[in-house]
Amino acid sequence: MFLKLFSNSKPPPDDLELVRLYRESGDMEHLGDLFQRHTDMVYLVCMKYLKDEEESKDATMQLFEYLATALLKHDISNFKSWLHVTTKNHCLMQLRSKKKQESIKQEETNASFMENEATSHLTEVAELEQDEEALMKGLAALPPEQRECVELFYLQQKSYKEIATLTGCELNKVKSYIQNGKRNLKIYMEKHHAAR
């Protein structure tokens, strides 16, 4: 009798089920449950890149806030993998922003005798920022399967086999998604540069 009671208890919903519940209801409790499961992973990824406890805690909270809107926009087939890439990108953008600020301070200090060099350096930084922004927009514009496979292959350096295991897609499909995603991304970037 006692065992029967326990065998009837439902297993907790998986990640994608919580994503679906959150998207349908907008209930922050589902989002909280989902994020709670992966908080340690997010914090550890932040620590790996930011190397500062307080900054990593702040970044973890910022990512939770970002999820509230991002999950309503993106179709996600593997939440943990998507969150890992998103966390890494968030940290890299923070580091770039920090470097840019330090670089600007440095340039201001040396401005009196390095004015021309400072100007060209800032132009370069601005162009890199634009390229980064274009790349992120280009990735967001890809169909979900292509985007996920491209991010796993290029940003996380996963092998075709690992991607097939993570996504549940056949190996040939994975190769096709990466090839088509890369081509579509290239077209997007060329258009962006032509417009600039």
pLDDT at 196: 47
Q: What is the rounded CA–CA span in Å between residue 45 and residue 81?
A: 12
Output the six-digit token pair for 146: 């292509």
* The pLDDT of residue 119: 54
Shared-domain flag, residues 52 and 126: no
* Helix, strand, coil abundance in the chain, percent, nearest 5: 85, 0, 15
What is this structure's pTM?
A: 0.49
Specify the DSSP class assigned to residue 13: P
- Give how many domains the chain has, as a whole number: 2
Is residue 1 pLDDT above 50, yes or no? Answer: no
Pair (99, 126) in one structural domain: no
* Confidence at 115, pLDDT banded by 50, 70, 90: low
Domain termination site, one of 84, 109, 134: 109
Same-domain check for residues 58 and 18:
yes
- Residue 116 resides in a domain: no
Between helices 111-141 and 171-195, what is the axis angle to 10°? Answer: 130
Mention every residue, 6+ apart, whose C-beta is less than 8 A from residue 141.
184, 188
139: CATH: 1.10.10.10
- Contacts for 9 with CB less than 8 Å, ≥ 6 apart: none
In terms of residue numbers, what domain contains 60? 12-109
The verdict on residue 171 lying in a domain is yes
Q: What is the DSSP string of 144-178?
A: HHHHHHHIIIIIS---HHHHHHHH---HHHHHHHH
pLDDT tens, position by position, 126-161: 565 666 677 778 778 888 888 888 888 877 888 888
96 and 36 together in one domain: yes
